[in-house]
């Protein structure tokens, strides 16, 4: 069976409810003009937590899914300011981003915490989009694959046993030096790491590992999306800056549709 492509928009800490509504309306209007509203793969929007409810209302009846940008590793309780998986589900989320490099860097999320969050997402019925990727210093000293390999290894003990859940995992390769910098990784660099991730997933999880989607993130734009999505082991993209402009985001969705 083929993997379904995936384009995820990470809006980060941008937008109030009104602007979130405008953005989602622009995206839905654009999609409705394309092939009768049919989209080739899956599209997921991850607005800030405060706009999830408003965006979910707009997405009702559309093929676009809702996702959170982070979740607590805890189920409930005295964790002021945190949002758990059940709350995300309750507001309409199907997906959640886990271990984004901005959280790993600013909030000290280490590999084990990321793995716990991934497990919490599965527990609460969400599909985790787990981010992995090396810093510039790590790439420059030739350690990119080693770092990504270690980030993946930390996940395996926390994965659920059932195939249906394992195959729902999404891995996002996001070289930290390419996020929000306007500098995307070269095709050869992207394909090398994606092939390495695929190899690791298949070696550790067999057929389940072959079905897990691996998306690329880091300064994807309409001008480079087609070339990136054409790479053999790239199943879609995690989009930051360009997801805040409906025309750009739609052009990126079109680029993935052209491949599959
Ligand atoms: C991201 O935040 O995950 C990301 C890839 O951002 P950008 O597209 O802006 O580099």
Domain boundaries, the chain: 6-254
Bridge partners of 6, per DSSP, are 42, 236
How far is Cα of residue 129 from the mean position of the Cα atoms in its chain?
4
CATH class label, 6-254: alpha beta
Report which of residues 181 and 235 the model is more confident about.
235
Contact present, 215 and 171 (Cβ < 8 Å): yes
Whether the pTM exceeds 0.85: the reply is: yes
- Residue 161 Cα, ligand 1 centroid: separation in angstroms? 31
Q: Which of 45, 24, 51 is nearest to 238 (CA)?
A: 45
Q: Whose CA is nearest to atom 3 of ligand 1?
A: 240
Is the pLDDT score of 38 beyond 80? no
How far apart, in whole angstroms, are the C-alpha atoms of residue 60 and residue 132?
31
CB 228 near ligand 1, within 6 Å: no
pLDDT tens, 220-256?
Answer: 999 999 999 999 999 999 999 999 999 999 999 999 8
Q: Name the least confident of 30-44, 61-75, 239-253.
A: 30-44
Q: Helices 144-155 and 111-123, interaxial angle, to 10°?
A: 40
Pair of tokens at residue 158 = 């926390």
pLDDT tens, 201-224?
Answer: 999 999 999 999 999 999 999 999
Residue 23: C-alpha distances to residues 27, 35, 54 (Å): 6, 21, 11
CB 101 near ligand 1, within 6 Å: no
Note if 42 is an active site residue.
no
């Amino acid at each position: 069976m083929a993997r379904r492509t995936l384009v995820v928009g990470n809006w980060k800490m941008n937008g109030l409810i009104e602007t979130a509504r405008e953005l989602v309306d622009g995206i839905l209007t654009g999609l409705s003009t394309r092939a009768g509203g049919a989209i080739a793969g899956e599209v997921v929007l991850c607005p800030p937590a405060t706009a999830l409810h408003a965006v979910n209302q707009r997405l009702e009846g559309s093929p676009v899914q809702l996702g959170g940008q982070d979740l607590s590793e805890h189920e409930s309780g005295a964790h002021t300011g945190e949002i758990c998986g059940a709350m995300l589900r309750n507001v309409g989320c199907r997906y959640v981003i886990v271990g984004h490099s901005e959280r790993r860097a600013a909030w000290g999320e280490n590999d084990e915490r990321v793995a716990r969050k991934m497990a919490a997402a599965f527990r609460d019925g969400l599909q985790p989009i787990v981010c992995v990727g090396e810093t510039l210093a790590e790439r420059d000293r030739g350690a990119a694959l080693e770092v990504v390999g270690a980030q993946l290894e930390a996940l395996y003990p926390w994965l659920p046993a059932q195939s249906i859940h394992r195959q729902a995992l999404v891995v996002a390769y996001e070289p930290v030096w390419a996020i929000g910098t306007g500098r995307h990784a070269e095709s050869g660099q992207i394909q090398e790491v994606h092939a390495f991730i695929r190899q690791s997933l298949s070696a550790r999880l067999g057929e389940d590992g072959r079905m897990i989607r691996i998306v690329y993130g880091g300064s994807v734009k309409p001008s480079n999306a087609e070339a990136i999505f054409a790479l053999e082991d790239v199943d879609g993209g995690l989009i930051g800056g360009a997801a805040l402009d409906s025309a750009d985001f739609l052009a990126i969705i079109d680029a993935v549709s052209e491949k599959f």
